[in-house]
Structure 1
Amino acid sequence: MSELSKLTLAEARDALRKGETTSLALTEACLSEIEGAARLNAFVHVTPELALDQARAADARIAAGDAPAMCGMPLGIKDLFCTRGVPSQAASHILNGFRPEYESTVTQKLWDAGAVMLGKLNMDEFAMGSSNETSTYGNAVNPWKVDDRDLTPGGSSGGSAAAVAADLCLAATGTDTGGSIRQPAAFTGIVGIKPTYGRVSRWGIVAFASSLDQAGPMTRTVRDAAIMLGAMAGHDPKDSTSADIPVPDFEAMLTGDIRGKTIGIPREYRMDGMPAEIEALWTRGAEMLRDAGAKIVDISLPHTKYALPAYYVIAPAEASSNLARYDGVRYGHRARLAEGDGIVQMYEKTRAEGFGKEVQRRVMIGTYVLSAGFYDAYYNRARKVRALIKRDFDEVFAQGVDAILTPATPSAAFGLGEMQDADPVEMYLNDVFTVTVNLAGLPGIAVPAGLDAQGLPLGLQLIGRPWEEGDLLNTAQVLEDAAGFVSRPAKWW
């Protein structure tokens, strides 16, 4: 079977079970693709020996007839997930040389299911960014190209998105704090799902904003997302926010039937200056779901306009608290000290050298909004707004809406460097359609649905009821089938 690295998880699983290929062959094909894709800078630590050992073990397991769906699948792992003995730096200079002695719950569950680790993937530093330009490893590059520019793969899971879109791995893990799975998925023409907060364990994932972070799969198809999410999800006593709720068979819930379902179109998402192509794609997406038998209704989420400001108070506040532990004492980078420097100078110099500009900016914002004189004016007020945003969604779902359809991003992928000198708020506006989902703790999925006039992918987002990822995936499957998105980036790297 040629071009093994292009297979979907479902195709690879079926081929493995029929004996048409082996995990070893799949893994070698992916490692070969990674070797030839240095230009994309998607993989930052490759683990070929570990991958080949895991592939051989998976082949033995498949031969013995004891093979879960993910058995033998070569995956890329975002550098935010701690992996035992393998560099896990969160793309930050401050964690240089850090090799954990433990495995994150998500990666452990994937290895227990027989999956194969090809290596670690590029990302924005500490997951703070929307373009993968804040990484200590340098920019990840989008495999899609329409002119002489290098385009962003989105952020923070940019390396994951680029690797899946460029066929360097069959699927990848991502994390989503304000859109970091869904926005890069939309920019690269793949599928990305952020599960309900608490569905997937956060233990062993380097924390950005603990009340918002959630891990999820980044895959080529909705079916693959269902397969991989089933392996990643589940209760974890090591994570106090992990929900003790049974994990259904998400793949079995892909019936392709959404007759009688109600899909909401929120009027507040019709932003001023929205590109006509995004507007047209959104309208077409609603028509596709209507043609499949769903009822389309207009809905209101009145507090949407406050979501971005609330998010950019809450997320930096939690980041300021979470990043206080990186101080040069226990692990990672420590600054050289001048004679006479004490502990305070060591903290200051280490953090100044170790954190990049965007991380420093967010830590400072977070520290400011948590400070004594501003706590009520900013942080407490943002928490109240968050409660109102969640209530908006609760009321819409109580009225019988099953899912909400919105654009995934306000534009297609932009050029690397194009927003570097802009006001940081310009970059933050990339998250305008996605942050509400994290603030409300809901599941959301980005599905590739079309190309813009330049030939770059555009995605649509579906937002579901809490804990109903199966239903959400089924609606996404209908959208995927109707859109018929099969475009792939032409290989130039």
Structure 2
Amino acid sequence: MEPRSIAQLSVLLQSGALDPVDLAQQTFEAIRSHPDTAIFITLLEERALSEAQAARRRFRDGRSLGVLDGVPVAWKDLFDISGLPTTAGSRVLAVAEPAKADAAVVQALAGAGMVSVGRVNMSEFAFSGLGINPHYGTPRNPASPQGEHRIPGGSSSGSGVAVAAGLVPVSIGTDTGGSVRIPAAFNGIVGYKATRGRYSMDGVFPLAKSLDSLGPLCRTVQDAVWVDAAMRGLPVSGGQARPLPAELAFVIPQTVFFDEAEEGVVAAFETAVERLAAAGAHIRREPFPEFAELFALMARHGALVTAEAFVVHRDRIFGPEAARMDQRVVKRTTLGEKISLADYVETLNARERLIRSFEARIGPGDILLSPTLPHVAPPVGPLLEDEDLFFRINAKTLRNTLVGNFLDCCGVSLPCGTGADAMPVGLLLSGPRGSDDRLLAGAATVERLLEG
């Protein structure tokens, strides 16, 4: 199935050149015939065909709900779907009580006419940036060299692969430390992490509530703009992303983000920067001591995500269910037991101070510009064989993106070329909390400039 954006599908659907029921059936045929059976955990064929038939009736009656009507969407296995248990990429929740209602954002996109085709794979309980899952399999990064299985990135692994492979135009993920932006970068697609709280979290299985956020993985920034509006229950227009009201201004951090970065990643990033500068963008480079202090804080008091994940899973990891979980998830979660209440409160207090300091430094019109990740997607095999390597690469993979979660930023990862072995490299645009509209407009402009 040829990869198509929401915009491309919408034109066909709205013009009558493509029937929404035919599109849904083609989508399921493509999923079933795809060689990678680890992408989807649950298919929602009955529901999807019912939603597609409703879209068909609306089109025939001239009552289209807008640009998203009839367009397929996949959901990370953290979102409640009425009548099904929410398994969060884990076997232990397969017998959980079925959800009584769809998650709020699932309802919102259904209200815009989107067709939910299934739930996709993920790192168990969303607690890894690599996307490896021993229970449902690890989706293969479609950009992997022939004969290789490169990691998809996590924790929204299935979301990234489903879009990159062209099975769906958009999949909704969650992002606690990079789980939307990481798979977007590794798979060469667009990933938008919204400011925490921009969407309702009702019906979304948590990892760390002080950090959890949501966002779409898709093919273009325009697609993300439309889905963002629908997820907030706003009208979705057919217009283009709002242009920036002023000249583009970027600041490149000289602290942390380039440490141990691969040569190919830096080269792809700098090429993108040169193109933006040639187009007239204002770019400066500046140290951000807040970033170094953030990691020193984590080393001293422990990570917020670990403390909060421990509370969520405490009974599980000390009970019989632990034996049926990914032992790397158990090991990482158990570390939260060592984080005291004093450590946790001190971290929260320091977090607010660092957010204020960062926001004062970056300025109201600036967008932070950096590599999404310091490396391209590595092969799966060595990570499965060497636990120390797994944890080391996981920490490195999460490093750049978790800064945005801790500082409550919004972020967009765009493809910006390739690095070693022709694997995708991501360009990360980040903005202070609440600057989502301006960030999306900036990302749309950068996307156009990079495409030439």
Superposed, 1:404-419 pairs within 5 Å as 404-419=368-383
Superposed, 1:201-212 pairs within 5 Å as 201-212=200-211
TM-score (norm 1): 0.85
1:298/1:401 CA distance change after superposition, 3 Å: farther
Q: Give 2:409's aligned residue.
A: 442
Q: Give 2:65's aligned residue.
A: 67
Amino acid at match of 1:149: E
Asked if 2 retains the 8 angstrom alpha-carbon contact of 1:449 and 1:484, the reply is: no
User: Over residues 95-144 of structure 1, what are the superposed CA-to-partner deviations in whole Å (9 max), with x where a residue is unaligned?
Assistant: 01333122111111111111111111000011011122135212121111
1:361/1:308 CA distance change after superposition, 3 Å: farther
* Counterpart check, 1:364 vs 2:334: yes
* Counterpart check, 1:380 vs 2:345: yes
Hey, what's the Cα distance between the residues in 1 that align with 2:293 and 2:13? 49
Q: Give 2:48's aligned residue.
A: 51
* Counterpart check, 1:279 vs 2:266: yes
Asked if 2 retains the 8 angstrom alpha-carbon contact of 1:419 and 1:427, the reply is: no
Superposed, 1:11-90 pairs within 5 Å as 11-64=8-61, 65-90=63-88
Structure 1 residue 213 displacement after superposition:
0.6
Superposed, 1:206-285 pairs within 5 Å as 206-233=205-232, 252=239, 254-256=241-243, 259-285=246-272
User: Over residues 75-96 of structure 1, what are the superposed CA-to-partner deviations in whole Å (9 max), with x where a residue is unaligned?
Assistant: 1111011111134200112201
Q: Give 1:110's aligned residue.
A: 109
Q: CA RMSD in A?
A: 2.2
- Classify the secondary structure of the residue corresponding to 1:297: strand
Q: Give 2:7's aligned residue.
A: 10
Asked if 2 retains the 8 angstrom alpha-carbon contact of 1:408 and 1:433, the reply is: yes
Structure 1 residue 226 displacement after superposition:
0.8
Q: Give 1:470's aligned residue.
A: 437
1:17/1:170 CA distance change after superposition, 3 Å: same
User: Over residues 311-334 of structure 1, what are the superposed CA-to-partner deviations in whole Å (9 max), with x where a residue is unaligned?
Assistant: 65210111111224x65xxxxxxx
- Classify the secondary structure of the residue corresponding to 1:386: helix
How much identity, in percent, do the aligned residues show? 30
Hey, what's the Cα distance between the residues in 1 that align with 2:259 and 2:65? 51
Asked if 2 retains the 8 angstrom alpha-carbon contact of 1:308 and 1:435, the reply is: no
Hey, what's the Cα distance between the residues in 1 that align with 2:270 and 2:256? 12
1:248/1:276 CA distance change after superposition, 3 Å: farther
Hey, what's the Cα distance between the residues in 2 that align with 1:82 and 1:165? 24
- Classify the secondary structure of the residue corresponding to 2:414: strand
Superposed, 1:93-492 pairs within 5 Å as 93-98=91-96, 99-233=98-232, 252=239, 254-256=241-243, 259-308=246-295, 310=297, 313-324=303-314, 348-370=318-340, 375-376=341-342, 378-397=343-362, 399-420=363-384, 421-423=386-388, 424-484=391-451
Hey, what's the Cα distance between the residues in 1 that align with 2:144 and 2:417? 16
- Classify the secondary structure of the residue corresponding to 1:94: coil
- Classify the secondary structure of the residue corresponding to 2:360: helix
Hey, what's the Cα distance between the residues in 2 that align with 1:465 and 1:69? 29
Q: Can you give the 5+ residue segments of structure 2 that lack an aligned partner in the other structure?
A: none
Moved more, 36-45 or 171-180: 36-45
1:66/1:476 CA distance change after superposition, 3 Å: same
Structure 1 residue 439 displacement after superposition:
0.8
Hey, what's the Cα distance between the residues in 2 that align with 1:388 and 1:360? 32
Structure 1 residue 349 displacement after superposition:
3.9
Q: Can you give the 5+ residue segments of structure 1 that lack an aligned partner in the other structure?
A: 235-246, 328-346, 486-493
Hey, what's the Cα distance between the residues in 2 that align with 1:195 and 1:167? 23
1:451/1:271 CA distance change after superposition, 3 Å: closer
- Classify the secondary structure of the residue corresponding to 2:152: coil
Hey, what's the Cα distance between the residues in 2 that align with 1:253 and 1:471? 14
Amino acid at match of 1:230: A
TM-score (norm 2): 0.92
- Classify the secondary structure of the residue corresponding to 1:216: strand
Amino acid at match of 1:305: A
Asked if 2 retains the 8 angstrom alpha-carbon contact of 1:146 and 1:454, the reply is: yes
Asked if 2 retains the 8 angstrom alpha-carbon contact of 1:259 and 1:292, the reply is: no
